[in-house]
Amino acid sequence: MRFGPAAAALSLALAVTASIGHAGGYEADPRAQALVAEGRMALDMGDTQGAVDAFEAALAVDPGYTEVYLELANTARAEGLQGKAIHYYREAQERDPENLAAITGEGEALVEKGALTAARENLERLQSLCGETCVETVQLSAAIDRGPPVMTAEAVTPDEDVAQN
């Protein structure tokens, strides 16, 4: 009886470490993967609303599938909705804090919004995670160097149907 508690603790420790050793990486639901593929095809064809519908359906099927959040963020950026894209990138980072694609995408969306200080913070995170020469670091650094897009008066063409008062 003197060895009972010690034996119980030892067997519990072995059971926990054994279960950790068998735990694999996250595998997404195949239905969600199919919906993501469908959404990518819709996006490639220029159907952003169809892509969003497919990605949101994939999210309903498998809410833990981080790739869906990245696809929703990329689609939002393609529509010019950087704030919404930043939200999705941050959702992806909550699930996977070291997701380089999410950090890079968020940084690029921040640059597009003109938030260069916040984008530089993302660049520092990338540099600490993967170094100075990794693809994501170089990509975000180039986006910061380009700066936010600037809209000039020459780029905006007035409508012909505008009537004067």
Minimum mean pLDDT among 23-32, 79-88, 90-99, 122-131: which range? 23-32
Q: Is residue 8 part of a domain?
A: no
Q: Is residue 6 part of a domain?
A: no
pLDDT score of 64: 86
What is the span of the domain harbouring residue 113? Answer: 27-148
Minimal CA–CA distance to 78: which of 117, 43, 54, 113? 43
> Does residue 103 carry a pLDDT above 90?
yes
Alpha carbons 76 and 84: distance in angstroms, whole number: 6
Q: Is residue 10 part of a domain?
A: no
64: CATH: 1.25.40.10
If one counts the domains in the chain, the total is 1
> Does residue 46 carry a pLDDT above 60?
yes
- In the structure, what pLDDT confidence band is assigned to residue 36 with cuts at 50, 70 and 90? very high
State CA 161 to chain mean position distance. Answer: 41
* DSSP H or E stretch at residue 56: helix 48-61
> Does residue 132 carry a pLDDT above 70?
yes
Q: Is residue 120 part of a domain?
A: yes
> Does residue 145 carry a pLDDT above 50?
yes
Q: What is the pTM of this model?
A: 0.74
Q: Is residue 126 part of a domain?
A: yes
Q: Is residue 42 part of a domain?
A: yes
Phi-psi region of 52 (alpha: psi -120 to 50; beta: other; left: phi over 0): alpha
Mean pLDDT of 117-143: 91
Q: Is residue 13 part of a domain?
A: no
> Does residue 14 carry a pLDDT above 50?
no
